[in-house]
Each structure stands twice: as C-alpha cells, then as structure tokens.
Structure 1
Amino acid sequence: MKTLKFIIALCFMASVTACKSEKKEDIKEPIKQTEKVIETPKTYAEISIAQGGEWIDGTRGHEEYDGGTSFKNIEKFRVPDNHTDHSWYIRYEGPGWENNKIGYRLYLDWRNAIDIFGKKTDTMVLSNVGQDGFDSYHEPEPWGQDILKVGSGLGIGSLGRLVEVEVLHFKEVDSTFASVQNNLDASSVIINYKGWKTGDDKIDLKSTLSIRPDQRYTKHTIQPSKAIDGIVTGIIDHGVNYFQKESANKKWAYIATYGEQTLVPDDLGMAIFYEIKTTSEVKKGKYDYLIQFQPTTKPVSFYFLGAWEQEVDGIKTEAEFLTYLDGLLNELNSNNAL
C-alpha cells in the first residue's frame, strides 16, 4: 500500500513539474521595439522656381518674371531660353548647395559664377533664403548672408573659357539643364550645358558640384564633349593676399586668397585645389586668378572652398587658414582625393 502511495505521489510531482515547464515555455518575452534613429541631414541642394507670375518686358532691357507669389522646389528642369541675370524666376538666381559649414550658389545664367553664403549656424538654411523674391540675403541675418561680391569675375570655382586675354562666360548656349540630388552623405548640383559657343568652338559640358558634411570644400567635376584649349576656373581678385603652393611630389597644388574681401566687410579665405597633371597654366586674368586646364574629354575634378571668420568655429587668421590648406594638400597628396 505504501509503495502504491509513493508511486502515485511521484506521478503527481512529475505532472506538476511538466505543467510548470509547459507554462514557462508558453510565456514569451516581450518583443523589444528597435527605435529608429532619424539622422539630420548635414547637406542640402535645391533649385527653386517662381510660381503664379508671368514673363514681361523688364526695365533692364530683358524679360523679367513678374508677380510670382511663391516658389516651388524642383529636382530638375530646362532653364528657359529667356532667362538671364536678375530675371527673378529662380530663387536667389540659381541652384544652391550647403552643408553644416558653408553654402554656395551658382548664377544659372550667362555669368555662370559661383557665390558664397557665409553661415553663422550649422543647420540647413537655404530653403528659407530669398523667399521674399528679392536679394535681401545680402543683408546680415541670424543665419548669415551672401558674403562675396562676384562682379565680372568667376567668383570661386566656376568655369569660363580664356580666349586671348578675355574670359568668356556662358553668353551663347543652346540650352542648359539643371538637377539636384540629396543623400545622407552628400548633396549635388548637376548642370548640362548643350552647345556652349566660345570663339570658333561649340561644345557640350557637364558640371557636377558635390558637397559632403563637415567640410568647407565643394568637389567640382567637369567633362567637355570636345578637347579645347582655354577652359579655366578661378578665384575673384579683390586685392588681398594671394598664395600659390605645390606639393613636393608635384601631384596637387592650390591657389588661395585671404583678407578683408566680403560684403560685411570682414575676413574670408578662398582656395582651389587642382591636380597639376590636368592643368597647363596658372596665371592672373583681368578679374580673377586663373587655373587653365589641358584639353581633354575625360572628367577632371578639382576642389574649391571658402572659409569665413564668422562661421561656427571659424578660421580667424591668415596663419590658421594657410595651416588648414596645407593639411588638405597633404591629404590630397596621400590619398589623391578628399
């Protein structure tokens, strides 16, 4: 009898243990939700055109876009044939691109010059610039302002063609197409010029301007459809100190200016880094310090930058600026790219 009771007790305990085990297996750990980390972009590019108005005969001897009530951002478009300087059709006159350090804009008309937006903040600001339809961005704002007077020159890092002693801009072009791209790690402006006529030559030319986070420079890659002499880039000459330096291994070099050369006025450094084997001459032009490229149909890349004293953690002295440039030059010579 005792044996029977003992066996029954053992069976009961085994049953309870099995039940507990089953219950334990039935209890599932709560699923942990993975929080999405939303990265704030540190680069931005845009093209914004006027809406709600019409083209009229303007007071400057060419058509202007009048009565626009708003602007619309677009990813790509063909520039209207009647568009020229101060047409008021494209917000701040062309595409813009920026990062958490600096901003730039390209005059998308016959001037084809590149201007600088100095920034006092590390946030993206271009989407709010020029929304009033005028050029109020030349005045100081909490975010910064347009700081470079381009005049008749190339500004910084744009293109022209040197024919004899004259730098020809983009006065004769069959058509111009512009587009922008925005990714987390870079933003770009792409311009395709069709039928650019200078002197006795007519070519197509693709220009790609790309900016990455945390750096002041823009990478500019150009590709002509025909190998012609005289394609140049440059820095506008405002009568401040000028510098030119080649690396010891003769791979890369830079030209640069530094001094009081902004609309503020205050100190600004500008520089262009170029691969020596792609160029034929560095010289002083009428309005600019020029870098002339060798004739080619292959892509050619160079880098340009501005460094404004009022930017966040900005470079304040000429000595700091030159040290900064030498560091970038060393990086280029080591890696052949920035």
Structure 2
Amino acid sequence: MKNIAIISLFVFTLFSCKGKKTDSVNITLNDNAGARIAPKTYAEISIAEGGEWVDGSRGHKEYNSGTSFKNVDSLQVPAEHTDHSWFLRYEGPGWENSKIGYRLYLDWRNAIDIFGKKVDSLVLPYVGQDGFDSYHEPADWGQDILKAGKSMGIGSYGRIVADTVVHFQSVKNTFAIIDNTDNDSSVNIHYQGWKSGNEIIDLNTKLTIYPQDRYTKASLMPSKEITGICTGVVKFKEIPLIKKEGSQWAYIATYGKQTLVTPPDNLGMALFYNLDEVAEQKTGTDDHLVIFKPTIKTITYYFLGAWEQEPNGIKTQEAFIQDLNTKLEVLDKTNILK
C-alpha cells in the first residue's frame, strides 16, 4: 500500500558538529487508513521558497534569498537551475535507509554521492537545513563522505562518446518524482531530450532503496537503442579495482581510504551488473566504467557504499569482499537483490 510522507518533529534529536542542539526530527508515514507508521526507507526532494532567480557571480542564474525549504512529491527542474544555484537542498533528491544515504546532483553533473551515517535512524529531513553545504562537515548523524569530482560518483549514469563520459549538459526537460511506500523508497527521473554526441533520446531512471542492506537498485529505460550508455564507480589514485564474475552477474569494487573525512578513512564501493546486458568494462579518465549494450529494454544494476564508521558496519576489506561475494551468489541464483 502506498503511503503519503509527512514529517513529524519529535523523538530523535540531532546535534551539529559543534555540539549545538538542533531541531528534533523523526519521520512518520500515514497509510491510507490514517495509521502512523515509522518507515524503514525514505526519499525526498526539497526546494527553496521565498526567493527569485537572479544573475549570479558565476555567469549563471542563482536562486536568491530563499528563506526556507519545502519538500515536494514531484518537480520539473527549472531551466535556470544548475550546480550551486542554491535552489535544491543538498543539490538534488536523496534516499536512505538505516544504514546509508545517497543523493543525486540534479543538474548537468548528475553524479550520485554518499551520505555516511553514524546513526541507525533516518536523517535526510535534517541534512542541509543549517547551511547550503553544511553536510560536508562532520556531524553526529554523519556527513557527505564521497568526492565525485568530474566522475559519475557511485552508480550514476551517462554516455561514452569518443572515450569521454557525457553527463547531462544538454537536456530539454528534467522531471523528478519521489515515491515512498511500505516496502521501499525510490527517486524516479525522466530526462526528456537528452543530447549526447549526435544522439538525442529520452531516458527514464528509477533508483530504489530497500529496508535491508546498503544497496540501491538502478533501472534505466532508454527510448531508443544507442551505444555507450554507462555507469561506474569514481576512480581514485592508489585505490585498486576489485573485480569478480559469476555465472550471470559480476561486480567491480574499490576499498580503501577514499572519503572526504579528515583524515580519510575506509570506504567500500561496489557495482553489480548483469553480464548479458554489458558490452564492456574498462577504466576511464575519472571512473571505473561499465558500458551497456544498445537496448530499449530496462537495464538493471545495483550499487552500494559501506563506510567503516557505520554502526555495526563493515570494517575491513576482507569483510567487504565476503559481503560482495555473498550478494553475487544471490544474484546468480535469483537474478535479484531484495
């Protein structure tokens, strides 16, 4: 049964990195019968209110003097919006469960980032409320731990054209829809008129998180067959790539000191893909890449992060690889993680 998300301010108290008490936040859902439910997953997108678009110092429009943020169930991204235009709280949609959170930059970069969590509660309604990029600093709940740079981050998508990953610099319209249900939460994005190289397509994507584990299921639905649609994991110097193939599925992964934490600490990242859907796996300039075969069928893959500061989490590379191998066995047998 589908739920309507509401935010309730009680029970769970958060503190900033300086120890200053902030608003208490918790999340509840109302089901169709009106019963209050504490969800195990959550997704949101939040826009600034009370401001206006003005010419910015960086040569593009900025949303000026927004006084507060409002969650919305759906959004047509304004034509003026780009990176650091101050319109979207933490720059795009976010989704989480008790173990981990993710966010997608809903602009030309279109990278996916990781919110590492030190608590086993849902925290996204709090993140970014006390300053546009405050989530980069350590807090009691955790922080943004991944530097995506020019890459796709962890598990986002683009297209290889002439050995370069084309992000979403040229899109006619972008729509985002948030869906919170009893069983999972998802971010659905429709890119209308995405131009990459000499091709223009529509692309529907769905990013779903479940109550258990750390992974997100990604579904990509292109409107026509083109070569080069890809995903990947950000590449860091000195961090080797880990690879393994099963009978039907495979994974690529990295593990090591590859976080924004000071000093950097251990983070594992992995991406699972169906061998029948993939044309090539290779390393690019900024990403370890998985390149899909041309198709109009739904492309499905999974990605995850595992931070060593997560409560009762994975603390070593050996434990991380063991966890990945277990998931690979499940995928080979059932073709699904859920």
Pairwise same-fold verdict (TM > 0.5) = yes
For 2:52 and 2:152, locate their aligned partners in 1 and report how far apart those are by CA, in whole Å: 30
Q: Partner of 1:157: helix, strand, or coil?
A: strand
Of residues 57-66 and 260-269 in structure 1, the stretch that sits farther from structure 2 once superposed is: 57-66
For 2:255 and 2:123, locate their aligned partners in 1 and report how far apart those are by CA, in whole Å: 25
Q: Kindly provide the amino acid, as one letter, of the partner of residue 327 in structure 1.
A: T
| Counterpart for residue 270 of structure 2 | 271
Report whether the alignment pairs 1:98 with 2:96: yes
For 1:39 and 1:93, locate their aligned partners in 2 and report how far apart those are by CA, in whole Å: 28
Measure how far apart 1:330 and its partner are: 0.5
Q: List runs of 5+ in structure 2 lacking aligned partners.
A: 1-33
Q: Which residues of 2 match residues 180-195 of structure 1 at below 5 A?
A: 180-195=178-193
For 2:225 and 2:88, locate their aligned partners in 1 and report how far apart those are by CA, in whole Å: 32
Q: Partner of 1:154: helix, strand, or coil?
A: coil
Q: Which residues of 2 match residues 61-72 of structure 1 at below 5 A?
A: 61-72=59-70
| Counterpart for residue 297 of structure 2 | 298
| Counterpart for residue 225 of structure 1 | 223
Q: Partner of 2:241: helix, strand, or coil?
A: strand
| Counterpart for residue 254 of structure 2 | 257
Sort the Cα spacing of 1:90 and 1:77 in 2 relative to 1 into closer, same or farther, 3 A: same
For 2:35 and 2:333, locate their aligned partners in 1 and report how far apart those are by CA, in whole Å: 35
Higher helix share: 1
Asked if the contact 1:88/1:133 (under 8 Å) is kept, the reply is: no
Q: Partner of 2:193: helix, strand, or coil?
A: strand
Q: Kindly provide the amino acid, as one letter, of the partner of residue 81 in structure 1.
A: A
For 1:156 and 1:109, locate their aligned partners in 2 and report how far apart those are by CA, in whole Å: 16
Report whether the alignment pairs 1:176 with 2:174: yes
Measure how far apart 1:241 and its partner are: 2.4
Measure how far apart 1:167 and its partner are: 0.6
Measure how far apart 1:164 and its partner are: 1.4
Measure how far apart 1:133 and its partner are: 4.1
Indicate which of 145, 155, 158 corresponds to 1:157: 155
Measure how far apart 1:54 and its partner are: 1.0
| Counterpart for residue 27 of structure 2 | none
Measure how far apart 1:38 and its partner are: 5.3
Asked if the contact 1:162/1:230 (under 8 Å) is kept, the reply is: yes
Measure how far apart 1:132 and its partner are: 2.7
| Counterpart for residue 288 of structure 1 | 287
Q: Once the two structures are superposed, what CA deviation does each residue of 1:149-172 show, in whole Å capped at 9, x if it has no partner? A: 000001000011101111100000
Asked if the contact 1:91/1:133 (under 8 Å) is kept, the reply is: no
Q: List runs of 5+ in structure 1 lacking aligned partners.
A: 1-35
Q: Kindly provide the amino acid, as one letter, of the partner of residue 321 in structure 1.
A: F
Please tell me the root mean square deviation across aligned C-alpha atoms, in Å.
Answer: 1.1
Q: Partner of 2:114: helix, strand, or coil?
A: strand
Asked if the contact 1:113/1:153 (under 8 Å) is kept, the reply is: yes
| Counterpart for residue 44 of structure 1 | 42
| Counterpart for residue 9 of structure 2 | none
Q: Kindly provide the amino acid, as one letter, of the partner of residue 126 in structure 1.
A: L
Q: Kindly provide the amino acid, as one letter, of the partner of residue 269 in structure 2.
A: M
For 2:49 and 2:131, locate their aligned partners in 1 and report how far apart those are by CA, in whole Å: 11
Measure how far apart 1:184 and its partner are: 1.9
Q: Once the two structures are superposed, what CA deviation does each residue of 1:6-27 show, in whole Å capped at 9, x if it has no partner? A: xxxxxxxxxxxxxxxxxxxxxx
Higher strand share: 2
| Counterpart for residue 77 of structure 2 | 79
| Counterpart for residue 331 of structure 1 | 330
Q: Kindly provide the amino acid, as one letter, of the partner of residue 289 in structure 1.
A: H
Q: Which residues of 2 match residues 207-226 of structure 1 at below 5 A?
A: 207-226=205-224
Sort the Cα spacing of 1:64 and 1:133 in 2 relative to 1 into closer, same or farther, 3 A: farther
Q: Kindly provide the amino acid, as one letter, of the partner of residue 91 in structure 2.
A: E
Measure how far apart 1:39 and its partner are: 4.1
Measure how far apart 1:122 and its partner are: 1.0
Q: Percent identity?
A: 59
For 2:287 and 2:70, locate their aligned partners in 1 and report how far apart those are by CA, in whole Å: 34
Measure how far apart 1:185 and its partner are: 1.1
Q: Kindly provide the amino acid, as one letter, of the partner of residue 220 in structure 2.
A: I
Q: Partner of 1:126: helix, strand, or coil?
A: coil
TM-score (norm 1): 0.88
Indicate which of 108, 113, 116 corresponds to 1:115: 113
For 2:172 and 2:106, locate their aligned partners in 1 and report how far apart those are by CA, in whole Å: 14
| Counterpart for residue 15 of structure 1 | none
Q: Partner of 2:272: helix, strand, or coil?
A: strand
Q: Partner of 2:154: helix, strand, or coil?
A: coil
Q: Kindly provide the amino acid, as one letter, of the partner of residue 216 in structure 2.
A: T
Q: Which is higher, the Rg of structure 1 or of structure 2?
A: 1
For 1:42 and 1:143, locate their aligned partners in 2 and report how far apart those are by CA, in whole Å: 16
